[in-house]
Amino acid sequence: MSIAGAQSPAPLADQPSGYGLVTRTLHWGMALLFAWQFTSAILRAVAEDTAIEGFFWSTHYSVGFTLWVLVLLRGAWGLANWSRRPPHEGPPLLARAATLGHLALYALMVVVPTLAILRAAGNGRGFRVYGIQLVAPGGEPVPALVAPGNALHGFLGWTLLVLVAGHIAMALWHGLVRRDATLSRMTRGREPQAIR
């Protein structure tokens, strides 16, 4: 209930009418970090050994590690809020596709950095994050830790970028074409008619 003219504070937890402050902060904060992370990957692919690539690539391990920690927190928070989350909009087939798309996004957000971290931990060259040495250099490379990352980190990273592009396109379609509440639940937190 709210007093006319006054806005009730945004809830921290998710509600069926919209996402809470924690989910929205994690979502948009991670979106910014992913934009940064993909910038470093794209520059590495198209402009290796340039100054701008050197700058962005020097952050790839630390930002990637941060994303890995955040996605684990976000997954735990999502599970804790599962029963309160807004349902997907649209016909049943579209809602099912949205559920599968989000599952694939989560799976790749976990698997892509995990493969790279295991490789970095097992390649014998050591692993530093924000200047902190998490794994000391030295020792023999461990093929079981290195090979999966070599085979799949880059490929699955690009696959994640394609899914993220699809996710953005669908969010814009909901907001601009279908004009339903999907986008405002993640921006303002509540459906327009629920904001008083």
Residues that bind ligand HEM (CB under 6 A): 37, 41, 44-45, 60-61, 64-65, 67-68, 112-113, 116-117, 120, 153-154, 157-158, 160
Nearer Cβ to ligand HEM, position 22 or 42? 42
Minimal distance in Å, beta carbon 118 to ligand HEM? 9
Of the pair 65, 183, the CB lying nearest ligand HEM is at 65
Supply the minimum distance, in Å, between the C-beta of residue 51 and ligand HEM: 17
Helices 60-80 and 92-122: crossing angle in degrees, nearest 10, is 140
Partners of 135 in beta bridges: 127
Distance in Å, CB of 36 to ligand HEM, minimum: 10
Measured from the CB atom, the residue of 129 and 181 that comes closer to ligand HEM is 129
Q: Which residue is nearest to ligand HEM (CB)?
A: 64
| The three-state (H, E, C) secondary structure of the chain, written as one string | CCCCCCCCCCCCCCECCECCHHHHHHHHHHHHHHHHHHHHHHHHHHCCCCHHHHHHHCCHHHHHHHHHHHHHHHHHHHHHCHHHCCCCCCCHHHHHHHHHHHHHHHHHHHHHHHHHHHHHHHCCCCEEECCEEEECCCCCCCHHHHHHHHHHHHHHHHHHHHHHHHHHHHHHHHHHHHCCCHHHHHHCCCCHHHCC
Q: Which is nearer to ligand HEM, 81 or 114 (CB)?
A: 114
Nearer to ligand HEM, 15 or 159 (CB): 159
- Shortest approach of ligand HEM to residue 191 CB, angstroms? 31
Closest separation in Å from C-beta 64 to ligand HEM: 3
